[in-house]
Amino acid sequence: MMFNFAPVLPLLIGAFFAALTRGRVRALLMLATPVVGAVLLYTFTPGTTVPVEWMGLELTPVRVDRLSLLFGYLFHLAAFLGVIYSLHLKDTLQLVASLAYAACAVGAVFAGDLLTLFLYWEALAVTSAALVFARRSERAFAAGLRYLLIQVLSGVLLLAGAIAWAKGGHGLEFGHIGTGSIAGKLIFVAFGIKAGFPLLHNWLTDAYPEATPSGTVFLSAFTTKVAIYSLARGFGGTEMLVYIGAAMACFPIFYAVIANDLRRVLAYSLINQLGFMVVGIGIGTELAINGAVAHAFNDVLFKGLLMMSMGAVLHVTGEMRGSELGGLYKRMPKTAILCMVGAASISAFPLFNGFVSKSMIVTAVLEEGYEWVWLALLFAAAGVFHHAGIKIPFFAFFSHDSKHVKQAHEPPTNMLVAMTIAAALCIGIGCFPGTLYRLLPYPTGYSPYDSSHVLAQMQLLAFSALAFLSLKIYKIYPPELRSVNLDAEWIYRRLVPNAFRHALAAVGRVGNQVRSHSFRLVSSSILALARHHRSEGVLARSWPTGSMVLWVAVLLGTTLLLYYL
């Protein structure tokens, strides 16, 4: 079958016809596309590969195993939910880019060689940037350019690493790579950029809040999860990832607490959740890898649900700043309830999907003796309850009555349907985790619902809620201010531009001084020549013939002397 050669075809064909059709025909086509793709994906057999020889290179554009199948199902599910959420749109750019973006993500997780991965990697950058540009604002355009630049840089590093890896005698097969070579380090950084490693993460918090409401839902599902898949495939068991992931899980908490834009809060929260996944990949045991990819699966659902709820608020009110929102539960009760389901899921409440995957990672960390990392993850788990579990629904729907309450209303039905499906999946997987566990790469006998796991998590959440209430009662909790907070992006958004402007100003001042001195030198030279050539000047006088003959003889004698010496 042609599909066996290219599992991206259903989504690509859907994107193509979405550009040509309109109205109900386009809506039905877009809804059918991810469903057909998922059904055909079910026919894949783990262990299948499709080798191709191209220009003397042995490539594997399709390689099927349990890891790639899990992400394939996940991306088709995410595309289906995203399509439902965006059915009210008439913007062809968004609709086409969304399906093409999903297709590139599917292609990347089935790529069996680094060259094929690179092609999809760069296509991900272009199609996802279109969802930022689609908002058509000056801020979105600037953020989209910065986003695209960093994403393309990631692709360049991947290509350079792939070439070095092949020249090192390893071929282009995409398997375990490790960081023991220059090629491995280049590929590691390329994956790290898309995964949101510390100091490489700001493209995410910069661009995601500027995308369209539906665009942000798609963005939160694909790029970073392709990076998690790639790290699991190429760098599983790399201990460095344990500490990188712990840092990723912890540092976004501080920025999320003070951020005013609620979608930026969720962007920081996304990095926090990616940190848990990266820790699991770094541990590298079967339980840890299972936990990492299971959490990636669940993150698409609960983070997508939170992004959809905030997108609904933005769609209805045109506002996303926590300082300007509040009281919307009175006019948007369904959206508020669905948002709280997402908040409970990301906070890992028992009976919600975040609990059944996050506990696997934490258990694996303890089993391998990383006590300090375990403490860091506990802190991160408490922190995410603060900024995503409490802050998002509190400031958007409760807090105080904002000026938007009178005009607010529930979002379009398709948005509510998408959020309801995502919420049902969050609860369903939380109550019946075996459904997800059966899709994981390795067999697992893990049971999340034992007394130690449940009691520990409930105690953590209770103390975290108590801390939030105490901070609010004693007015210590940071208020929602009309501000934009820069972290590491200050380097390229403030430091580098300011340094460049100062350098240009210094060069300009030096240039002005050089021009001024040159002008004075030329002017004085002209005046000197004029003094000697004017009527009373030395060169304008009448000279006797004898003196001229004398000067000619002197010059001739000097020339002969220099010649013989």
pLDDT of 138 strictly over 70: yes
Residue 519: what pLDDT? Answer: 84
Residue 343: what pLDDT? Answer: 94
Residue 194: what pLDDT? Answer: 95
Q: Of 120-134, 247-261, 317-331, 492-506, which range is least confident? A: 492-506
Residue 478: what pLDDT? Answer: 66
Residue 430: what pLDDT? Answer: 95
Residue 560: what pLDDT? Answer: 82
pTM beyond 0.85: the answer is yes
User: What tens digit of pLDDT does each residue of 219-253 get?
Assistant: 999 999 999 999 999 999 999 999 999 999 999 99
| Buried-exposed string 388-425: b where 16+ CB fall within 10 A, e elsewhere | bbbbbbbbbbbbeebebbeebeebeebbbebbbbbbeb
- Here the tokens at position 427 are 């609860």
pLDDT of 438 strictly over 90: yes
Q: Look up residue 180 and give its DSSP letter.
A: S
Question: What's the per-residue H, E or C state across 486-500?
Answer: CCCCHHHHHHHHHHH
Alpha-carbon 564 to chain mean position: 78
User: What tens digit of pLDDT does each residue of 272-285 get?
Assistant: 999 999 999 999 99
Q: Look up residue 399 and give its DSSP letter.
A: S
Residue 506: what pLDDT? Answer: 84
CA–CA distance, 541 with 538 (Å, rounded to integer): 6
pLDDT of 417 strictly over 50: yes
* Confidence class for position 1, pLDDT limits 50, 70, 90: very low
Share of the chain above pLDDT 90, in %: 63
Segment 190-209 shows an average pLDDT of 92
Q: Of 76-90, 213-227, 540-554, which range is least confident? A: 540-554
Residue 223: what pLDDT? Answer: 94
The residues, any chain, with a CB within 8 Å of residue 63's CB and separated by 6 or more, are 48, 49, 50, 110, 111, 112, 174
- Cα-based distances in Å from 93 to 139, 207, 240, 497: 18, 17, 40, 32
The residues, any chain, with a CB within 8 Å of residue 253's CB and separated by 6 or more, are 268, 272, 379, 380, 383, 384, 386, 387
Pick the residue with more confidence: 82 or 388? 82
Segment 560-564 shows an average pLDDT of 78
Give percent helix, percent strand, percent coil of the chain, each to the nearest 5. Answer: 75, 5, 25
Residue 2: what pLDDT? Answer: 47
Pick the residue with more confidence: 285 or 531? 285
pLDDT of 546 strictly over 80: no
Residue 229: what pLDDT? Answer: 97
User: What tens digit of pLDDT does each residue of 334-383 get?
Assistant: 999 999 999 999 999 999 999 999 999 999 999 998 999 999 999 999 88
- Here the tokens at position 208 are 């995601």
Q: Give me the chain's average pLDDT, please.
A: 89
Instruction: With beta carbons less than 8 A apart as the criterion, state whether 310 and 325 touch.
Output: no
Q: Look up residue 21 and give its DSSP letter.
A: -
pLDDT of 15 strictly over 90: yes
